[in-house]
Chain A
């Protein structure tokens, strides 16, 4: 068995087009997860006990159940309630919900890393709750969150093949399709795996760069 570079060359354009879908799904899912995480972390810090409990439970549940089953759930159950989303939107929503729970955890850790005294100082300076968040707490809480969010984005990238299960034509779906059409899985699946490797290796320096840009001057190494 040998690796055919001719075949690889032939299918590469198809795979690269699918890679675009993979990247789109990752970015869209990431954007949703940032918002979902924000909603959840707000819920966890709310004054109402029931809201705190509910947010906590949603977070734990989303994190403890498989993304694949969550994707199926959205894909097969939502239409029954009159909500019909395209496979891409379904997949992206599932990604956003699943990883939103992880984002919430990252936000929570960041917010808790801000010392209590900072809050007390803001209160004593007569800052409103909103102003305290905006000017005192968030600028300190955000930088340590960035690397965690970066890891979440990379994990999402590697979980996008799960969307193939609901026929989103992303990289793994196309690689698999080529494989079954030509009875030749070696080249497409190997190439797809390498593309994921390249993407996630490329993402790491990008996240480092953003991380460095967001850090306040004095703490830059």
Chain B
């Protein structure tokens, strides 16, 4: 374990990059999840079709292929993004396509009667969505977005392959110099695990906060 202590600054710097990529990619993913999830439920074809293409395209191809495409191919079209932007965009867009299903499923889980009641009470569509549908759907979404954020955390390790010095990148560098690999890699695995525990703990707290006052006996 001495080696881990010796390189603590390097590894902590890596954790910082990992967290930055995870948080930014999560923001992109949530925005894309809602945009595409809502668009796919829309009555208008102009909104539905692009959303379906987005989801199928990003779910059908490998994240690493998307990452390499942004990093290696996009520059030849004259668009040169920094590695961090490539990582955040690829991970955010790819997981946003998965999140799209979460948003759609959660919105559909709200019983029809709720919307009908809102109409009967003369709520505008926007009010009905914001005050009636969304709060109930959010309760369903919270744990699923928690899992998605853990997927994003894991995916953030791929940015090490496009030269971003995240936790995985630093671990790999230390390994290449030293022979003592077990301590470094075990530590890195545990660090990822602990970050994931924080994410799932946070998701649980949010779920509980959103469920306050809900009658569980009604099913």
- Confirm or deny: A34 has a beta carbon within 8 angstroms of a beta carbon on chain B: no
- Are the CB atoms of A64 and B62 closer together than 8 Å? no
How many residues on chain A are close to B (CB under 8 Å)?
Answer: 39
Stretch binding the partner chain, chosen from A137-145, A158-166, A205-213: A158-166
Mask, A178-221, CB within 8 Å of B = 1, is 01000001100110111011001100000000000000000000
- Are the CB atoms of B65 and A192 closer together than 8 Å? yes
* Majority secondary structure, A binding face: helix
**Which of A160, A162, A192 contacts B158, CB < 8 Å?**
A162
- Confirm or deny: B95 has a beta carbon within 8 angstroms of a beta carbon on chain A: no
- Confirm or deny: A82 has a beta carbon within 8 angstroms of a beta carbon on chain B: no
- Confirm or deny: A136 has a beta carbon within 8 angstroms of a beta carbon on chain B: no
| Chain A residues with CB under 8 A of B65 | 161, 172, 175, 189, 192-193, 196
A66 to B160, CA, bound (A): 12
- Confirm or deny: B17 has a beta carbon within 8 angstroms of a beta carbon on chain A: no
Report the nearest B residue to A72, measured CB to CB: B185
A216 to B66, CA, bound (A): 40
- Confirm or deny: A148 has a beta carbon within 8 angstroms of a beta carbon on chain B: no
- Are the CB atoms of B78 and A80 closer together than 8 Å? no
| Chain B residues with CB under 8 A of A164 | 64
- Are the CB atoms of A185 and B76 closer together than 8 Å? yes
Q: Given A69-B185, A190-B73, decide whether A162 and B171 contact each other with a Cβ distance below 8 A.
A: no
- Are the CB atoms of B66 and A193 closer together than 8 Å? yes
Write the nearest CB–CB distance from B147 to chain A, whole angstroms: 9
**Which of B66, B153, B172, B181 contacts A77, CB < 8 Å?**
B181
**Which of A1, A159, A161, A162 contacts B77, CB < 8 Å?**
A1
- Are the CB atoms of A65 and B154 closer together than 8 Å? yes
| Chain A residues with CB under 8 A of B60 | 196-197, 200-201
Write the nearest CB–CB distance from A165 to chain B, whole angstroms: 6
**Which of B56, B61, B168 contacts A193, CB < 8 Å?**
B61
Write the nearest CB–CB distance from B159 to chain A, whole angstroms: 10
- Confirm or deny: B102 has a beta carbon within 8 angstroms of a beta carbon on chain A: no
| Chain B residues with CB under 8 A of A152 | none
**Which of B76, B161, B193 contacts A1, CB < 8 Å?**
B76
**Which of A66, A172, A200 contacts B157, CB < 8 Å?**
A66
- Are the CB atoms of B182 and A77 closer together than 8 Å? yes
Name B145-159 residues within 8 Å CB distance of A.
150, 153-158
- Are the CB atoms of B77 and A65 closer together than 8 Å? no
Write the nearest CB–CB distance from B60 to chain A, whole angstroms: 4
A113 to B6, CA, bound (A): 50
- Confirm or deny: A176 has a beta carbon within 8 angstroms of a beta carbon on chain B: yes
- Confirm or deny: A73 has a beta carbon within 8 angstroms of a beta carbon on chain B: yes
- Are the CB atoms of A64 and B185 closer together than 8 Å? no
| Chain A residues with CB under 8 A of B156 | 66
Name A101-142 residues within 8 Å CB distance of B.
none
- Confirm or deny: B12 has a beta carbon within 8 angstroms of a beta carbon on chain A: no
- Are the CB atoms of A66 and B68 closer together than 8 Å? no
- Are the CB atoms of A66 and B168 closer together than 8 Å? yes
A61 to B56, CA, bound (A): 30
| Chain A residues with CB under 8 A of B161 | 68, 165
- Confirm or deny: A53 has a beta carbon within 8 angstroms of a beta carbon on chain B: no
- Confirm or deny: B175 has a beta carbon within 8 angstroms of a beta carbon on chain A: yes
Mask, A143-155, CB within 8 Å of B = 1, is 0000000000000
- Residue ranges of B at the interface with A (Cβ–Cβ < 8 Å): 56-57, 59-66, 68-69, 72-73, 76-78, 150, 153-158, 160-161, 168, 171-172, 175, 181-182, 185-186, 188-189, 192-193, 196-197, 200
Question: Can you list 27 contacts pairing A with B, beta carbon distance less than 8 Å?
Answer: A64-B154, A66-B154, A66-B156, A66-B168, A68-B168, A69-B188, A69-B192, A72-B171, A73-B186, A76-B181, A77-B185, A172-B64, A175-B68, A179-B72, A185-B68, A189-B69, A189-B72, A189-B73, A190-B73, A193-B61, A193-B62, A194-B61, A196-B62, A197-B57, A197-B60, A200-B59, A200-B60
- Residue ranges of A at the interface with B (Cβ–Cβ < 8 Å): 1, 60-61, 63-70, 72-73, 76-77, 80, 157-162, 164-165, 172, 175-176, 179, 185-186, 189-190, 192-194, 196-197, 200-201
